[in-house]
Amino acid sequence: MANTLFDKIWDRHVVQHVDDGPEQLYIDRLYCHEVTSPQAFEGMRRRGIKCFRPGNIFCMPDHNTPTHDQDRPIEDPVSKTQVDTLARNAEEFGLEHFGMMNPKNGIIHVVGPERGLSLPGMTIVCGDSHTSTHGAMGAVAFGIGTSEVEMVLASQCILQQKPKSMRINIEGKLGKDVTAKDVALFLMSKLTTSGATGYFVEYAGEAVRDLSMEGRLTLCNLSIEMGARGGFIAPDDVTFEYIKGREYAPKGEDWDKAVEYWKTLRSGDDAVFDKELTFRAEDIEPFVTYGTNPGMGMGITQTIPSLDTIPEAGKASYLKSLDYMGFKPGQKLLGTPVDYVFLGACTNGRIEDFRAFASIAKGRRKADGVTAWLVPGSWMVYDQIKEEGLDKTLEEAGFEIRQPGCSACLAMNDDKIPAGKLAVSTSNRNFEGRQGPGARTVLASPLVAAAAAVTGVITDPRTL
Amino acid sequence: MKQKFDTISSTCVPLPLENVDTDQIIPARFLKATTREESFFGENLFRDWRYNPDGSVNEDFVLNNPKYSGEILVAGKNFGSGSSREHAAWAIAGYGFRVVISSFFADIHKNNELNNFVLPVVVSEPFLASLFASIEADPKTIVEVDLPNQTVTNKATGESERFEINGYKKYCLMNALDDIDFLLENKDKTIAWEEAGKA
């Protein structure tokens, strides 16, 4: 019975069932960034066609943007070409474009929700796996490839097999200094990076309901790291309160009508999920990763699993991973010296993340020998940091705020962690070379990152 | 690249690692191209495993081992996890692979392969383990992937399995048609859906 929230949103957007094939799904919102869209626009030109529904499409560069001197031309000529190409394509195809230095620019997955472009009940796609972020608004949002971007440009639809549905309940209250990021890293460590492949995840339970909108965005952002196509949270008063008054959000009568509809967006009490899992919030502590995929994580006080706990077929990958990180089975990570700290990305580049980081930095000093990059997710976040005076607190502690973009999360701009260096990063992936060739990444929350930044070693923020 | 797919018999390149993510298949710094130059992406397939940090060839990596070649890549489970970058599928196609065999694929990457006329073939864990063993024993082991009949056969052992693919996508692959052709033909249905007031 189609009674999960996922079914409700998905089924409403099905244009047709293709015989012995996928479904033709209508897309409400397509976001384009500069990396995964140029070949799609190229394809459109080759076919000689225009965008079918240009008003539903928003473009902005984020992956290549430098985090300094954005008012000057990008130094890297290849990055510059890619960013310029997006601007040209947006103009040619008549699409809204928030270019560099536009006050609306930032990481797509930060900008969409904060501008009221991503709304409950929508289908949202982007050529980026972290599109799952927008699910926090109560939307069905997922990443697609460039061919699929071209499909949406051309027809506002994609062909897609309907995923199965899973509900993950986090019951109880999260402990002190345990954040949405820790919940996500905990889930990945339980499910592995493929445990939710083929599923769309609804997050529910008291601990999820208690999360702020920023926390929910972080949790949904990381759905893809368990293999899930997307993750979402049923919209509630927290969601409505967040959206109200935002630039592109419905206004006046439209607002009332929208909220009335949004309130119906919840799974029925009798909804049946293909899979349902329940965890206790009290079992989650601040988390860190020790390996080269996000599922290789543990509570910060724990030790790296010994080899005999790893299944035979996975041993070679496990050893390769630890070898890359320079860690040993059975080792503790507490006290490990840290070279770099990165606060930012679509995972943790929002105002709440900067407040969290500043709460630890306040009255302390950045440790000598640690290079810290603090990169807001958007200009809007940047401005709010200044408004709240967090920049002062951070500057007094020896930190500086950079300009917005994806930055060191995937090091497509010049923010690259040097080979061999260990970074505690609030981003989403610790893959080999993700933050720069040879870079070693420990994923963690903004609190754990701040604790590392002020002590110079991996530190449990609860002990500060 | 649009090309008709039928039956492929080939030797294989084995990559018995699990969770091979798309950052390994093609690192982010090679995503800056603005056109679909498959040969460029193919040259940088598994770049950081193929080459040492100083740019020299890593002789230990399988793509650099002259014993192994062919149009089929055989990989450990959860192949293509992580980033949605279609550049990973372009790199695989650009290098010359037409089939990837694994016991499990990440969703987005699987779609990206299909949209680039590379066939992802899901086999059972025992079939995969046995195939890795056959290739290790004899790098000349031939595997036959028969799309019309949806079977994959390890010629060394005679083991054969049926693989799944929906009828629509199979038709597309066998006739070199893509989804955009289909969607453009079906615009009237999209408009009808919009007019029904659901948009």
For A59-104, write each residue's pLDDT tens digit. Answer: 999 999 999 999 999 999 999 999 999 999 999 999 999 999 999 9
* A402-412 pLDDT tens trace: 999 999 999 99
Contact state of A145 with B86 under an 8 Å Cβ cutoff: yes
Residue of chain A with shortest Cα separation from B128 = A313
Among B4, B14, B23, smallest CA distance to B130 is for: B14
- The alpha carbon of residue B10 is apart from the nearest alpha carbon of chain A, in Å, by 25
For A12: left if phi > 0, alpha if psi spans -120 to 50, otherwise beta; the answer is alpha
Contact state of B53 with A12 under an 8 Å Cβ cutoff: no
pLDDT > 90: percent of chain A? 99
Spatial separation of the C-alpha atoms in residues A288 and A441, rounded to whole Å: 10
Spatial separation of the C-alpha atoms in residues B73 and B101, rounded to whole Å: 6
Instruction: Report A:377-406 residues touching B (Cβ under 8 A).
Output: none
* B77-125 pLDDT tens trace: 999 999 999 999 999 999 999 999 999 999 999 999 999 999 999 999 9
The CB-side HSE value for A330 (13 A sphere, CA atoms) comes to 3
Q: pLDDT value at position A312? A: 87
Q: pLDDT value at position A388? A: 98
Is residue B186 a part of any domain in this protein?
Answer: yes
Is residue B1 a part of any domain in this protein?
Answer: no
Residue of chain B with shortest Cα separation from A39 = B35
Of A36, A224, A431, the CB nearest to B85: A36
Q: pLDDT value at position A61? A: 98
Which of A162, A229, A317 to substitute to test the interface with B, most B CBs within 10 Å? A317
Global pTM? 0.96
Q: Using a CB-CB distance cutoff of 8 angstroms, which residues of chain A are in contact with residue B184?
A: 47, 49, 154-155
Strands B151-154 and B143-146: antiparallel
Q: pLDDT value at position A238? A: 98
Of A82, A144, A163, the CB nearest to B32: A82
Spatial separation of the C-alpha atoms in residues A410 and A425, rounded to whole Å: 11
pLDDT at A1 over 60: no
Chains A, B: CB pairs < 8 Å: 197
Mean pLDDT along residues A231-256 = 98
pLDDT confidence bin for B198, thresholds 50/70/90: low
pLDDT at A298 over 80: yes
Averaged confidence pLDDT in chain A: 97
Q: How many domains does chain B have?
A: 1
Contact state of B34 with A85 under an 8 Å Cβ cutoff: yes
Q: pLDDT value at position A447? A: 98
Spatial separation of the C-alpha atoms in residues B50 and B60, rounded to whole Å: 8
Secondary structure letter of residue A22 according to DSSP? -
- The alpha carbon of residue B153 is apart from the nearest alpha carbon of chain A, in Å, by 22
Interface check for A410 against chain B (CB to CB < 8 A): the answer is: yes
One-letter amino acid for residue A166 of the chain: M
Contact state of A145 with B89 under an 8 Å Cβ cutoff: yes
Q: Which CATH number, 1.10.10.10, 3.30.499.10, 3.40.30.10, 3.30.450.20, labels domain A287-463?
A: 3.30.499.10
CATH number of the domain where residue B57 is located = 3.20.19.10
Q: Using a CB-CB distance cutoff of 8 angstroms, which residues of chain A are in contact with residue B191?
A: none
pLDDT at A369 over 60: yes
Q: In CATH terms, is domain A1-285 a member of 1.20.140.10?
A: no
Q: Do residues A434 and A411 touch, judged by C-beta distance below 8 A?
A: yes
* A14-27 pLDDT tens trace: 999 999 999 999 99
Q: pLDDT value at position A451? A: 98
Q: pLDDT value at position A270? A: 93
Interface check for A64 against chain B (CB to CB < 8 A): the answer is: yes
pLDDT confidence bin for B37, thresholds 50/70/90: confident
Which of B83, B123, B177, B186 to substitute to test the interface with A, most A CBs within 10 Å? B83
Mean pLDDT along residues A144-162 = 97
Interface check for A414 against chain B (CB to CB < 8 A): the answer is: no
pLDDT > 70: percent of chain A? 100
Is residue B157 a part of any domain in this protein?
Answer: yes
Q: pLDDT value at position A83? A: 97
- Residue B121: domain span: 7-198
- The alpha carbon of residue B8 is apart from the nearest alpha carbon of chain A, in Å, by 23
Same fold, A1-285 and A287-463: yes
Mean pLDDT along residues A431-455 = 97
Is residue B2 a part of any domain in this protein?
Answer: no
Contact state of B199 with A146 under an 8 Å Cβ cutoff: no
pLDDT at A126 over 90: yes
Give the Cβ contact number of residue A463 at 10 Å: 11
Which of A9, A11, A15 to substitute to test the interface with B, most B CBs within 10 Å? A15
Contact state of B180 with A146 under an 8 Å Cβ cutoff: no
Of B48, B104, B182, the CB nearest to A432: B48
DSSP H helix total and E strand total for chain A? 16, 18
Tokens (6 digits) for A66: 């430098």
DSSP H helix total and E strand total for chain B? 9, 8
pLDDT at A313 over 90: no
Q: Do residues B20 and B75 touch, judged by C-beta distance below 8 A?
A: yes
Q: pLDDT value at position B197? A: 77
Indicate the domain borders of chain A: 1-285, 287-463
Q: Do residues B24 and B46 touch, judged by C-beta distance below 8 A?
A: yes
ipTM entry? 0.94
pLDDT confidence bin for A2, thresholds 50/70/90: low
